[in-house]
Amino acid sequence: MKRFALVAAICLSQFACRALEYSLGPDSQPKEGVPKGVVTKHVLAPGKCFPGTPHNYSIYVPAQYDRSRPAAFMIFLDGSGALGNGVRVPVVFDNLIHKKELPPMIGIFVDPGVLPAASEKAQSRFERVFEYDSLSDRYAKFLVEELIPEVGKSYNLSSNPNDRGIYGVSTGAVGALVAAWHRPDQFRRVLSFIGTFVAMKGGDSFAATIRKSEARPIRVFLQAGKNDHIAPNQPQGTFYAGSWPVNNQVMLEALQFAGYDAKLELGDEGHNMKHGAAILPDALRWLWRGYPEPISVREPAALDQKGWDPRGKVSSIVWADKGWSNVLDGGATAIAGLNGAVYYAAKGNIYKAGGSVFRSGVGTVKELAVGSDGRVYAATGGRVVSYGADEKVVAREVDAAGLAVTANGDVYFVDALKKRAGKAGGPFVELEMAAPSGIALSPDDGMVVVTDAGGRFAWSYQIGAGGALRNGEPFFRLELPEMGWMSGVRGAALDSIGQVYFATDLGVQMCEANGRVAAILHSPAGAVRGLAFGSDSIFVATDAGVFRRPVKVKGGVQGVLPRPPL
């Protein structure tokens, strides 16, 4: 009986294997009567992004291409593989365009670069992993600033990001998703096959970044194989970097958590394109469904459902459809707010948001703070000056990198040159920081946050007897740019439950009161240099100007003690 059961199991297993064999379907087969596109080969000369490195690429142009109309297009990383007989993208394009299931779009098939050897005895440098596997924006810049403009010399390419897609396989899938994530103004549709979202060059951390970050208007189709780098005696994965199927599931969950339109098809193959090629036509249909309706940012699907946990989520801070609006063109030198009133300094003046000039002719203001009495404090000309009905000098010979004022009028500042912080007149605490850059008070005036532009940690201090800062800790751990080791953090502000918002190179990073980064809001224009809460909005200063955005949270009110959950 046992033997019969074993034989039956083997037979069933063999039948299942045969049933799960993947083959190219009708839409991947050439058909009579279907207009065929033309594929041509080209070489892109070396540029700035990958110096000395040429790139081979091919262009597919459909028979229906009309130069008088901007054409949609897709970029295929590892382009030669996508063109090959195993995947047959041109054939699929021919068939789906003919059936009007895809727009008449151009395909750009680019291979990774190879830096030629300096001599016959030297080695070439193969760029694929460097180009595709990084979480930086370098490859996106290569596409946007070098490859697309070159192709655009010969073809009328659409500048609408909804008309642009990008495809990648394995490490190339990381490159495709990262490029779209950095440049959603350029790419809105992503195909990812057997994506290498594992711990090789940071791909495993990308899902966590997506969960924390404000969603981009991107649609993502993921494909993975249950047996990708999996062996019978190593079901947890054969590779040091992690599990391909598990990490693709983690990526799907991260995308859906953040509100993306995302889907995962999990097949039974290993690290190959058998399953991916078989489902390519359906994947393309899903990716381009509803075209030309634009892809937009969505709220997470569970937002209004029972059991929704709002803690620490981007969607608990801002609305997806309420973005940044411009308040001032040109960079502000400082910004501050208190109890809903926001002030910013620019062009030698101090302005009140929503009003007129508060104070003119004050010179270059490096830092601002607002007191509970309505007075505005400015670091200018090596001094700290208080403005109200009159003008008072609070401190002299101070290179203030941040200002904050308590309810009783004590002025705290960070001295960047001497690397110390304290209140005007002392006492001061020496700072263990590379580049002290800002200071913020908790609404109850019991704690101080001091930022460090030259590191990843912001420090928390308690205000003790006599106003001395004590018990300092590197409490808040900020996220860093992929290609940097400094957060670039400047200002900080707290909301009504004690969450801290930091102005950084990555955007506005929100830390829960316990010190963990929980959410990252994108910047309206470059690095954020300062921020402040209005009555129902958050204001940020960048090199491009001052911007405002409605928020669901409230800024901290001075004198109110926040008691957030830990």
416-458: pLDDT as tens digits: 889 999 999 889 999 999 999 999 999 999 999 999 999 999 9
Q: Which has the closest alpha carbon to 144: 104, 194, 196, 179?
A: 179
282 shares its domain with 181 = yes
Domain boundary among 241, 271, 287: 287
Q: Establish if 391 belongs to a structural domain.
A: no
The pLDDT score that the predictor gives to residue 356 is 86
Under 8 Å between Cβ of 447 and 458:
no
Question: Which positions ≥6 away from 285 have C-beta within 8 Å?
Answer: 96, 101, 102
Residue 14 has pLDDT above 60, yes or no: no
Is there a single domain that holds both residue 275 and residue 327?
no
pLDDT by residue (tens digit) across 126-150?
Answer: 999 999 999 999 999 999 999 999 9
Residue 564 has pLDDT above 70, yes or no: no
Q: What is the mean pLDDT of residues 265-291?
A: 98
Same domain, 213 and 338: no
Query: What is the arithmetic mean of pLDDT over 193-201?
Result: 96
Specify the pLDDT at position 354: 87
Residue 540 domain-assigned (yes or no): yes
Tell whether 185 and 79 lie within a shared domain.
yes
Domain membership of residue 399 (yes or no) is no
Mean pLDDT estimate for the chain? 93
3-state secondary structure (DSSP) of residue 102: coil
- For 416, other C-beta atoms within 10 Å of its C-beta total 21
To the nearest whole percent, how much of the chain has pLDDT over 90? 87
- The distance from CA 439 to its chain's CA centroid, rounded to whole angstroms, is 26
Q: Looking at the structure, do residues 231 and 324 belong to the same domain, yes or no?
A: no
Report the candidate in 58, 53, 27 with the shortest Cα–Cα distance to residue 42: 58
- Give pLDDT tens digits for 494-541: 999 999 999 999 999 999 999 999 999 999 999 999 999 999 999 999
The two structure tokens encoding residue 446: 């019991």
Residues 276/265, Cβ–Cβ less than 8 Å: no
* ∠ Cα 436 438 443 (to 5°): 135
Q: Are residues 115 and 226 in the same domain?
A: yes
C-alpha 170/C-alpha 173 separation (Å) is 5
Q: Are strands 189-193 and 219-225 parallel, antiparallel or unpaired?
A: parallel
Q: What is the DSSP letter of 313?
A: -
Where does the pLDDT of residue 11 fall: very low under 50, low under 70, confident under 90, or very high at 90 and above? very low
Residue 181 and residue 60 share a domain:
yes
Residues 149, 262 share a domain: yes
* CATH classification of the domain holding 525: 2.120.10.30
Identify whether the C-beta of residue 539 lies closer than 8 Å to the C-beta of residue 337: yes
* Sheet with 411-415, edge to edge strand ranges: 400-405, 411-415, 420-423, 428-430
Rounding to the nearest 10 degrees, give the CA dihedral for residues 419, 422, 427, 432: -40
- Long-range pairs, 470-473, Cβ under 8 A, ≥24: 470/429, 472/429, 472/432
Cis peptide before 427 (omega within 30 of 0): yes
Neighbours of 397 (CB within 10 A): 7
Mean pLDDT of 181-193: 98
5 belongs to a structural domain: no
Helix crossing, 171-182 with 203-212: angle to 10°?
Answer: 30
**Residue 303 falls inside a structural domain:** no
The answer to whether residue 454 is domain-embedded is yes
- Token couple for 562: 């926040």
| Inter-helix orientation angle 89-98/274-287, to 10° | 30
Number of domains comprising the chain: 2
Q: What does the pLDDT look like over 312-341, one tens digit per residue?
A: 899 999 999 999 999 999 889 999 999 999
With 0-12 / 13-18 / 19 or more C-beta atoms within 10 angstroms meaning exposed / middle / buried, residue 268 is: middle
Q: Is residue 380 part of a domain?
A: no
151 shares its domain with 279? yes
Q: Classify 30 as helix, strand or coil.
A: coil
pLDDT of residue 465: 92
Please give the radius of gyration of the chain, using alpha carbons only, rounded to the nearest integer. Answer: 28
Same domain, 283 and 327: no
If asked whether residues 221 and 331 sit together in one domain, one would say: no
**CB under 8 Å, gap of 24 or more: what pairs does 147-152 form?**
147/44, 147/55, 147/57, 147/75, 147/108, 147/110, 148/75, 148/108, 150/44, 151/57, 151/59, 151/106, 151/108
Question: 327 phi and psi, to 5 degrees?
Answer: -105, -35
Q: Is the pLDDT score of 96 beyond 90? A: yes
- At 352-410, the pLDDT tens digits run 998 889 999 999 999 999 999 899 999 999 899 999 999 999 988 888 989 999 999 99
Find the domain containing 73 and state its range: 39-119+128-287
Question: Do 113 and 46 belong to one domain?
Answer: yes
pLDDT the model gives residue 6: 38
Evaluate whether residue 415 is within a structural domain: no
Q: Using the 3D structure, point to which of 271, 287, 303 is the last residue of a domain.
A: 287
Which residues, 6+ apart, have CB-to-CB distance to 359 below 8 Å?
349, 350, 376, 387
* Domain of residue 202, CATH code: 3.40.50.1820
